[in-house]
């Protein structure tokens, strides 16, 4: 993992959330992410929640 990527995760306290380094942009393309900041959660049933900007605190607490 490139150092800048690790520093970004550390600076924004994102270490508790699984991160995927999309080096070839295939995941961005698949999920329609055009820029950062963006987030995607895939629930255990395969449902997808996505958005731009900070991750809503309520979403993290709801477990959905």
Residue 52: which H helix or E strand, with range? strand 48-52
Is residue 37 a contact partner of residue 16, using CB atoms and an 8 Å limit? no
Cα–Cα dist 41/48, whole Å: 6
At residue 45, the pLDDT reads 93
pTM score above 0.75: no
State the chain's maximal CA–CA distance in angstroms: 33
Domain chopping of the chain, boundaries: 20-64
Residue 1 is predicted with a pLDDT of 57
Task: For 8-61, write each residue's pLDDT tens digit.
Answer: 889 888 888 888 888 899 998 998 888 878 888 888 899 988 898 888 887 776
């Amino acid at each position: 993992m490139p150092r800048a990527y690790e520093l970004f995760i550390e600076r924004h306290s994102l270490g508790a959330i699984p991160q995927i380094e999309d080096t070839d942009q295939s995941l961005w393309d698949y999920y329609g992410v055009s820029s950062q900041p963006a987030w995607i959660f895939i629930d255990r049933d395969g449902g997808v929640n996505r958005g731009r900007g900070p991750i809503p605190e309520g979403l993290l607490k709801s477990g959905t």
